Amino acid sequence: MYQGYQRLKFQRDGSILTIELSNPTARNAVDADMHAELARVFLEVALDTDTRVVVLTGDPDGKAFCAGGDLKWIESIEGKGERYAVVLKEGLDIVKTMTNTPQPIVSMINGHAMGLGATIGLFADVSFMDETAKIADPHVSIGVVAGDGGAIIWPLLIGPNRAKEFLMTGDAMTGTQAASIGLVNHAVPAAELQDRAYAFARKLASGPQLAIQLTKRSVNLFVGQVVEQVLTASLAMEGLTFASADHREALRAFFAKEKPKFQ
């Protein structure tokens, strides 16, 4: 199992499987390869009877949990409907498979988590975060909708109006702030993060597996309904904004190292 992956790394400790998001030269940003791999990895996890718990984290060499979508990859999608159709399907699969995988997923957010990186970390079942790391969904800063899951998971965790405050501004917060409003479960000092996350993973791994897995499934019956109602539409809205003048200006400004001038 877990063969042919370029952007995901795997480590096993008994029944705990660690998956690292690994794109170290780009702060573990999601590129085309990682996006495709995330869309299929949890299908394999669901069939992996040796795994009781997944710990999802960032490759330490990337010095971040995940910096979000790689802008060079995003630029390659602009205005290309056929290419975005692939991205849309993969985006659906990432969220749905994380939600439907029977094993609990613990995210260990060991650095900044931005955009899609934040979505991936927050769709885990329980999250532990470095208290000084930053988390945000700054899709709007590049002129696009937070449609790849942010529009679902942020309102579920912190309520619609507070979610809109952060999604419409793209403002970041620290792990400590995120824990204080319920966006993440636990914010801990960086030196304690690994011990705390894996202690919790071991607790789940040693518990009654059928009861734990069916409890996840029971809660996610509700989460899954929201995903079905919202995700396809929100991804389609994101696709519309990929073709917008504001998005083109944001990319131009980013690569020119200038501040965008939205019209």
First-to-final CA distance of the chain: 49
Two tokens, residue 209: 């597996």
Give percent of the chain with pLDDT exceeding 90: 87
- What is the pLDDT at residue 122? 98
3-state class percentages of the chain: helix first, strand second, coil last, to nearest 5 = 55, 15, 30
Sign of the alpha-carbon dihedral angle for 146, 160, 227, 42:
positive
Q: Looking at the chain, which runs of residues are DSSP E strands? A: 8-13, 16-21, 53-58, 105-109, 113-114, 126-130, 134-136, 173-174, 186-188
- 58: helix, strand or coil: strand
- What is the pLDDT at residue 215? 98
Q: How confident is the model at residue 81 (pLDDT cuts 50, 70, 90)?
A: low
Site of tokens 């702060």: 27
Cα within 13 Å of Cα(182), Cβ side: 9
Taking 80 as the threshold, does the pLDDT of residue 82 lie above it?
no
CATH 3.40.50.300 matches 8-205: no
Query: Is 121 within 8 Å of 156 (Cβ atoms)?
Result: no
For 58-95, b/e burial (b = at least 16 CB within 10 A) is bbeebebbbbbbbbebbbebeeeeeebeebbebbbbbb
Considering only residues 76 and 61, tell me which one the structure prediction assigns the higher pLDDT: 61
| 244-259 mean pLDDT | 91
